[in-house]
Each structure stands twice: as structure tokens, then as C-alpha cells.
Amino acid sequence: MMKGALETDRLLNSMDMSVLERQRAYLKYHNPSFDFPLAGFFSDSPMINGFLGTPGLDIPVIYSETTVEVCDPSLSISPEDITGSGNFKKRKFDTETKDRNAKKMMMMRNKEEEEEEEEEEKSKITEQNNGSTKNIKKMKNKAKKEENNCSNDSSKVTKELEKTDYIHVRARRGQATDSHSIAERVRREKISERMKFLQNLVPGCDKITGKAGMLDEIINYVQSLQRQIEFLSMKLSVVTPRIDIDMDDIFTKEVVSTPMTLIPPSHGIVGSGYSHEMVNSGYLHFNPMQQGDTSSDPLSCFNNGQAPSMWDSDVQNLYGSLGV
């Protein structure tokens, strides 16, 4: 019982797992029946229960504790590790094969438990803390169990060290931290961002909640736009034989008028150059009569340029006046 007390002292001071385990293993080999009272002591220990009772909600306090805990094994194990493992190996060779098989089974089970616990791990900050609580849980489990092994323990310590190495991605509390779910989360966030953009773009989509409905709306909108284009090109093809020349004239007018109203100096030159080109390219002399006609009336709304941001409003006016 003295040793048990000593161990709990160690536990509270440094949480040095492997040493503890090794000592317990040592103890067990000398006196197998001694394990049971020890187990009782461990599970009943109020300190441990108290520690378990605060599962990482109080971040600053526990963070400081956990940093000590995480750092500790790496510092304190290294000198003892060699001799400890050596001892263990010697003992391991002494034991019977049956015993070894049982140990292996235990190891497997422990690892499974560990993985489960890993999945349960919550957040970047509380992860380390969870690790420490995990340690204690595991110790409890092990104390209750009749057998334990050193190799599992050391592997766990190394695992934990690895884990502290590559925690870079942020995960909120309650989110899984394995790489797959993190990648999936990033993907989902990107998708929802895009969906938000689409929501702004597609009229009537902002009232719909749910991805399926939104996608429906988007599909409908795209199809309607495609149909509109079809329809408009049809309309144009019907109209063009008569105002074949008008279209070109509209082009020139628009090309001239838009840059003039929007960005006067630089684009104006380009625009006018373009219109010159147009005039020279020979659609003007095709039918001067009609040209004069068209430039006088419907296109005046393109020319009269009320204010700088004209194009849209002009087009809107056009729609309004035509009742389309």
C-alpha cells in the first residue's frame, strides 16, 4: 500500500505514465494479488475523480496543467526509458506464451479504445486536456483490469507527442479533428460560400432555405436564361432581314455611347476609332435612308446619356417604353 500511495503522489505531481505503469507491472509480477487493492485505490481516489469532473471547460487553468503534463513524459521518461523497457523485455521473455497472447489482446482493445477516444476529442485547445483526462481514464481502466503492458503505454506517449506536433487546423468545440472530417468541413464551407453568392445572383433564391431547393432554383434560372437567349436570337433572326443595317448602327451607337458615358478619356478614343472602322467597313453606304431614320428615333435613348451610369437605366427605359 505504501507503493500505491507513492504512485498516487507521482501521479498527482507529474503524471508520469510510463514510470507508473512500469512500477505497477513490476509490482504485479512480484505479487499478483496486490493489484486489486491498488485498483480500488485508483478508482476511488477523489483527486482523480475531481480532475475528471472538469473536462476542459476552464481553459486557462487546465491548459497550464496540461502543458506540464504533456511536456513531462518526454522529459522524465527519456533517462528511465531504456532501463524500463529492458526490464520489461526480460520479464516478457520470462512469461508464458498464454500470458503474452492475453496481453496482445489487451493491447488491441486498448488501442481501439484509444481510437474511439480520439474521435471524441473536441477542439484544438481542449485536445491536450482531453488527452490528459484520457490518460487518467485509461489508468482507471487499467487499474481495474488485471493486466496491463508497458509497450502500449509508451506507444501512447509517442502518439500524444506526435499529436501535439501537428495540430494546425482550427476546429470548433464539438467538431471532429481527424483529417478527413476537416477536409470535408473545409469543402462544405466553400460550397456554402458559393451558394451564398449564387443566392445573391439568382433572383428569388434568397427566400429559399435548403440546398436542394436552391439548386432547383438555380437550374430553373439557368434554363430560363438559355431559353431567353434562344428566344431572343429567334426574334432577332426574324427582325434582321428588315433592319439588317440597323443592328450595325445600334452597335456603333452603343459602342460609342457607352465608353463616352462611363470612362470618358481613354475608352472614348477606342470607341470612336471602332465606330470609324465600322463606318468605313461599308454598312453605312448600304442604305443611307434607313440609317438616317433609325439614328433619329429609337436610338436616341442610347445617345442622350442622362448621367454617367447609363447603360442599364437606358435599357430599362427602353423596356419600359416598349412594354416588353
Partner 1 sequence: MQPTSSMKEEFLKKWQMGLQIFRPSIDNTSVSERKKAIKLSADVAMASLRKGTTCWSRALIEKTATEDNFLVRQMLTGIKAEALINKKLPKKIVCHRKIVRRSKKILRRKSRSASEEAAVKAKRLVKRRTQGLRNVVPGGEFMSNDILLLRETLDYIVSLQTQVNVMRSIVDAAEAGIEQ
Least separation in angstroms between CB 235 and partner 1:
5
In the set 78, 97, 237, 266, which binds partner 1 (CB under 8 A)?
237
From 109, 235, 276, 285, residue interacting with partner 1 (rule: CB under 8 A): 235
**79-84 contacts at long range (C-beta below 8 A, 24 or more positions apart):** 80/18, 80/19, 81/18, 81/154, 84/18, 84/19, 84/22, 84/150
Angle at 120 (CA atoms; ends 191, 122), nearest 5 degrees:
65
Place of cell 477516444: 117
**Restricting to residues 168-197, which ones interact with partner 1 according to CB under 8 A?**
187, 190-191, 194-195, 197
Options 12, 216, 288, 292; binder of partner 1; rule CB under 8 A: 216
C-beta of 158 vs 321, nearer to partner 1? 321
Q: Does residue 141 interact with partner 1 by CB under 8 A?
A: no
240 binds partner 1 (CB under 8 A): yes
Extract the C-alpha cell encoding 151. Answer: 509497450
Site for partner 1 in 273-292 (CB under 8 A): 274, 281
User: Applying CB under 8 A, does 2 fall inside the site for partner 1?
Assistant: no
For the chain, the farthest-separated pair of C-alpha atoms sits apart, in whole angstroms, at: 117
* Size of residue set near partner 1 by CB under 8 A: 64
Of these, 102, 176, 279, 318, which contacts partner 1 (CB under 8 A)? 318
Beta strands in 55-202 (DSSP E): none
User: Residue 60 corresponds to which cell in the numbers above?
Assistant: 486557462
- From the list 156, 30, 125, 22, the residue with the least C-alpha distance to 82 is 22
Q: How far apart are CA 200 and CA 197, in angstroms?
A: 5
Closest CB 101 distance from partner 1, rounded Å? 31
C-alpha span between 61 and 69 (Å, rounded): 13
Query: Binding residues for partner 1, per CB under 8 A?
Result: 187, 190-191, 194-195, 197-198, 200-202, 211-212, 215-216, 218-219, 221-223, 225-226, 228-230, 232-244, 246-248, 250-251, 254-255, 258-259, 262, 274, 281, 293-294, 297-299, 302, 311-312, 314-315, 318-319, 321-322, 324
